[in-house]
Structure 1
Amino acid sequence: MLFKTGLFIFPLLLIACSEEAVLPPMIEVVVDQVVLEPYQPKSEYVGRLQARDDVAIQARVSGYVVSRDFREGQLVEEGDILYRLDASEFDAALAKAKADLAAAQANQANAVRNYSRGRELLPRGAISESEMDDLTAKKLDADARIESAWAQMKSAEVNLSYTTIIAPITGRIGRSIASVGDLVGPNTGNLTTLVSIDPIEALFNVSEAAYVAAMKSRMTEEPDISALRDVEVTLELTTGMVYPEVGRIDYFSNRVDQETGTLEARAAIPNPHSILVPGQYVKVILQDTNLLEGLFVPQAAVQADQQGSFVLVVDSNSTVQRHNVELDQRIDFMVRVVKGVEEGEQVIVRGLQQVRPGMVVKVRELPAPAQGQE
């Protein structure tokens, strides 16, 4: 009986051993290559729009407002009349100044004649030295009165001109604080404000690290501010719409803000249709027009854990290896890799959850897109 049982167990052991000898199927992964491609450096920042010129309109002389010659919120041209003040008092002051000038001119003419006669009579002893000194003093006094009268007349003309308040720049005007009939003057404050619209400026802050990274390639070169002209500036509005006009950077601060660790920058943006207004928040997009070369991997190949970003690479022996990578900007579905991979290496884009470093896998390359498709 024991012999029969042993004969029965022996085949079972053979079957079990044969099952253990069967290897599991090799895991298949889809890979794509690390490619070296041209690209244009691109970065994004949060910015705020401001007017290049923001003018407070004030009265420089006191007077009653007799007319307001603009519509609030409209575009005005440089030299347009904004307000007119009652000018009667200043007309009278100018007339008096002109009369005083005429009197001073008459007095000067008489003093010059007497002075000339005195110079002819003095050598003949007809007048004394003291009398000649008196004639000289009167002539000098008449000359000084002429200068004073001219100054008074010019002052009266200027004050009269201030009764007509004109736009010093072209731009959009704000709400009027003063109405017709109001008494305004230098102490009244702002009558309204006027801001320039075209071009408009976008202010944004660049981190110290980003600035250092951008200047890294120029460490051995002479600083060239004209290189900023190669950077195109576009804006994305809060609605997600990309503003069609392209601007240029025209200013970088000369120091890093110690509190924020950022560097202030400014770009001038064309605004011919007055779409942009001061105070708007926008996304500032900087793109260099010069082409550079960089290594790119598909976004699908990039993973992250506590150690940072990494990709899984399949080597020539079909073995999976982990490569920690330093990433830069993303362009479409590709990511630029600063460090960690080399051109031509195969990175896994599908099947990442099934493999671990050190495993041997079956490789299938990502099919190329059909002709005419991206």
Structure 2
Amino acid sequence: MTTPTWGEPTGPLTSAEFRAAAQAIMANIEQVIEGKSATVRLALAVLLAEGHLLIEDVPGVGKTKLAKALARSIDCSVRRIQFTPDLLPSDVTGVSVYNQETRDFEFKPGAVFANLVVGDEINRASPKTQSALLECMEERQVTVDGTTYELQAPFMVVATQNPIEMEGTYPLPEAQRDRFTARIAMGYPDPRAELAMLSGHGDHDPLNDLHAVADAALVRRLIETARAVHAADAVQQYAIALVTATREAPEIRLGASPRSTLQLLRTAKAVAALEGRDYVLPDDLQALAVPVLAHRLIPTPDAQLNRRTTDTIVSEIVHRLPIPHATRNPYDTRDGRAPYESRGR
């Protein structure tokens, strides 16, 4: 299969081109991941929001499969890092090595110098090694021995981790979790999807048959198109209200950061584009509140004793906050586009 060409080589895509390209990527991934359409869609939305994805669940439910299927669906540079307790920060970022011939130090790039970095079981490495990803995830650059190296766009880290209760894991630092745009859980497949998996994966791995249906240039245009999606003032204020509520919740010791507000809105724009809209609905923010905000929060000791999860607390905040209603068209009336309409809870 050859990589398709959609429209002109640069600039945003039309709505039809965007949907065709996005559907091709999602359909390609779903050849490997059975019965997880919503999870696949969110993973693609995070990519289009220029974010990073954390996949957390028990072993054996397809976390690494999803990350590798996304990587193989895009014809770009891909590097995989297996995080282990003995992994060093220089293995991630790179190291300067003395060259005997030139009598000078030569930089050897680490695994982060790729468009898509797959970090497997990230919480099995030490916090020092985990922190090697901080600069590249936020600033799209790596600094080694006083020299800064820019990373190519698009750049995305897709990391998997086991629940912290599992043996041999280290909790991710707060700064590291805050750099992941969204956290998703794969969950167990339903019986029908598991039966299809037995039929399709029994004699061979479908990941080996996967071919790229997009390239880095196309992904950059998809990102540019998603970035242009309109968010009305009322929608932006609703995003701020959601994040502010996490900071004021009595059961939360550390609320969501301003970075999370920005990433929530960016991901909502990508979701709106995937659904064929050029404007964001409050419903988009509601649907994304848990995967984008919950992993950044730290509950109080009392909340932990009462087994109150951050997912539950964020869900309650979403149901408690009033939904904004536009009193007028959030677009210029000369534009001719329709205002957003909320579908309710």
Q: Same fold (TM over 0.5)?
A: no
**TM tier relative to shorter chain:** under 0.3
* Structure ranking higher in helix proportion: 2
Please identify which structure carries the higher strand content.
Answer: 1
The normalised TM-score by structure 2 is: 0.22
- TM-score, normalised to structure 1, is 0.21
Higher RCO, Cα 8 Å, sep 6+: 1
